[in-house]
Structure 1
Amino acid sequence: MAKGAVKLADVAKAAGVSQGTASNAFSRPEVVRDEVRERVLATAKELGYTGPDPKGRLLRAGKVNAIGVATAEPLSYFFEDPFARVVMEGITELCDAHGAGISLVSAANDEKLAWNIQSALVDGFILFCVEGGPRLVELTRERQLPFVALELGINDPSISAIGVDNLEGARQAARHLADLGHRRYGVLAMPFFDDRSGPVPFAEVPTAIYSDSRSRVAGYFEVLKERGIDTDSVPIYETKGEERTAREAVDYLLSLPEPPTAILSMSDRLALAAIERLQERGLRVPQDVSVIGFDGIPEAAFCDPALTTMAQPIAEIGRQAVKAILEDDGQVHRVTLPVELVVRASTAPPRE
């Protein structure tokens, strides 16, 4: 008999037992007499049969007890991005508590991403919609499994999502800098659109596909207008959410006729890169330029100077996401969590 073609029925016949007894020898050995179990296992080994396919058993049961965590970013995103790492801590904590597994899903291109999502053996998906969010949602919907989006940035009320109050968080960030007395600002933005970076006129912001970025600009500018700042003159630089374009943004801001004395950064990762670049350019933080971030990643507390930020309950976002999948009731649930201003050493009043 060809190796790989052996079925459980073949083992049962060769061992002289029923197929049910042969199945129990693998999956419920305690109900099979020792001598019978040993004969079935010895026969299976002789025929080259390695045991029932666990995928088939799980699919017949209707659950695989695993959650897919998906992103359109490369797989390295889960390990290199500080925000993603802390979210994963929350996800793994609750999965461990429920005995559930985790399958990381990503791909270098759209075709492979589609295949990976379609073939993932999971009960539902948690989506990191950083870039490529609309496509990620589209592919996941095709699986007709429960899913919840994190950092969605897409204002679609038909999608379950967990996030924070971006508008209020941005208001608090701008209010903190305004209370310190700053009048000249620059914005380091997360993506408004996919795969681009550079200065962005405010008129383009309302058309952005990512609502998180839109909301943060709206919150910043609402407070600045209240404080008498001409927001038309506040430069906005769209980054790709990583260090290289953050450094380019700082160079752009410093090239302006009136460089900002305060930088509103939409993420801690951008803010940390900005501080490093400012220092390379011979400027002191916060004496020359104040910088405020948004996220509350662990690294923010240990940089020099320590970063003032709007802290999200990052691990709790991960825990809430797992709960949404494990307790799915077929309804759309949108959870908004609060953010907290954490004042550290990267912000101060502007120089006289």
Structure 2
Amino acid sequence: MASLLEGQARPIRLADIARAAGVSHGTASNVFSRPEIVRAEVRERVKAVAEQMGYAGPDPKGRLLRAGKVNAIGVATTEPLSYFFDDPFARVMMAGISEACDATGAGIALVSAANQEKLAWNIQSALVDGFILFCIEGGSRLVDLTRERRLPFVALELGFQDETVSAIGVDNVAGARLAARHLAELGHRRFAVLSLAFADNRTGFATPEIVRGALYTGTRDRLAGYFEELARFGVDTTKIPVYETENEEKSTRAGLEAIFDRDEPPTAILAMSDRMALIAIDWLKARGLKVPQDVSIVGFDGVPDGALCTPALTTIAQPITEIGRRAARMILDHDGAVRRETMGVELIVRASTGPAGKS
């Protein structure tokens, strides 16, 4: 039997199995798709032929594509694939997306690539019904590539001024004001900001020109919220160092080195993500600085890791899991409408903040 298609280069098809087993194409198809309507002896013969010929069954992609839906969501980022597992924000967001998919039996395809050419291929070839975009760095590129697929997509931030892009995010200005007010009311007047990206592929101290030209308005909005609130307490915000990071360990540590090498180091750090804040706590402790006695820190996200570190992290908590659930529902229940949702945040006070010292 194995020699029936010997020398044949093309893949084995269902028609080949039907011919070899001496049944119609329809009968062979029913063996794999509706076996209950096929006589047992015919089923066994067809399956035996298929096994001997190395045929595993019809390609599900063809059936799904003919049906017009593949029942799967693509979750895309320009970060390496490890981002989905290493970043605490991404892990919680994926939990929310997974909950919505589990409820409907939908699958999830992780789409990522730091290389732009590979990213384009991954977006174009992903077998999905739509995309959820983690718009960190390269967000505009993700939007452009996804538009080309002509599939529904939703961005996980409101940092795009294009009102034709569906997006879910939080009130970044309000959240940043809460963080800054908390520290100012504790008496802090010397601040530094560990910033998310204002644009792609850049780290270092952010000038006013960089801030004004920000590609990611979510980052700009958080900085605006910090500065607006601190100005109410008489803080000269022009003297506050703002260090743009890639929201990972290397650039965050470089930012801390640069900030604390200045003549007047801060007594309070405003970190635009919990990930940066947690890195900062470890960095400060390793250099003999106490948190919060010497330096207070406020993060932004509300990831579970913040409650477990020592000291526990004061943060601006956003409803990450709910954002993930809603994003997934936007794709699964897509009706052609563009939706932009802004969700609230809250200040969670823990042990990483305290009164300003006398230094």
User: What's the TM-score once normalised by structure 2's chain length?
Assistant: 0.94
Distance 2:287 2:17 in 1: 74
Aligned to 2:214: 208
Q: Which runs of 5+ in 2 are unaligned?
A: none
What secondary structure, in the 3-state scheme, does the structure 1 residue paired with 2:297 have? strand
Match of 1:325 among 331, 334, 339: 331
**Structure 1 residue 137: deviation in Å?**
1.0
Cross-structure match for 2:185: 179
1:44 aligns with 2:50: yes
8 Å CA contact 1:182, 1:261 repeated in 2: yes
What is residue 317 of structure 2 aligned with on the other side?
Answer: 311
Distance 1:263 1:3 in 2: 64
Q: Aligned partners of 1:295 and 1:260: how far apart in 2?
A: 22
SS at match of 2:17: helix
Name which of structure 1's ranges 134-143 and 1-10 shifts more when overlaid on structure 2.
Answer: 1-10
CA distance, structure 2, for counterparts of residue 293 and residue 6 of structure 1: 56
Match of 1:153 among 159, 164, 185: 159
The normalised TM-score by structure 1 is 0.96
- The corresponding residue for 1:189 is 195
Write the distance in 1 (CA, Å) between the matches of 2:212 and 2:96: 33
**Any idea what SS the aligned residue of 2:192 has?**
strand
| 1:127-138 matches, cutoff 5 A | 127-138=133-144
Contact kept, 8 Å, 2:20 with 2:49, in 1: the verdict is yes
Distance in 2, Cα, partners of 1:3 & 1:35: 31
CA pair 12-170 structure 1, distance change in 2 beyond 3 A: same
Question: Does structure 2 retain, via aligned residues, the 8 Å contact 1:133–1:152?
Answer: no
CA–CA distance in 2 between the matches of 1:234 and 1:252? Answer: 13
3-12 or 201-210, larger mean C-alpha shift:
3-12
Amino acid at match of 1:259: P
- Tell me, what secondary structure is at the counterpart of 1:188? strand
Residue type matched to 1:242 in 2? E
Q: Which residue of 1 aligns with 2:303?
A: 297
**3-state SS of 1:292 partner:** strand
Q: Unaligned 5+ residue runs, structure 1? A: none
1:123 aligns with 2:159: no
What is the RMSD of the two structures over their aligned residues, measured on CA atoms?
1.5
> For 1:19, which of 10, 19, 25 is the aligned residue?
25
Opposite residue 279 of structure 2, the aligned amino acid is A
Structure 2 residue identity aligned to 1:310: I
Cα distance in 2 for residues equivalent to 1:348 and 1:206: 32
Identity %: 66
Q: Is the 8 A contact 1:129 1:152 kept in 2?
A: no
**Which of 163, 176, 193 lines up with 2:169 in the alignment?**
163
Report the Cα offset of residue 52 of structure 1: 1.4
Q: CA deviation at 1:4?
A: 4.5
Deviations 1:320-339 (A, max 9, x none): 11111001111111111111
Contact 1:130 1:152 in 2 (8 A): no
Match of 2:79 among 73, 78, 97: 73
For 2:63 and 2:10, the matched residues in 1 are separated by 18
- CA apart distance, 1:284: 1.2
Q: Mapping of 1:226-265 within 5 angstroms?
A: 226-265=232-271
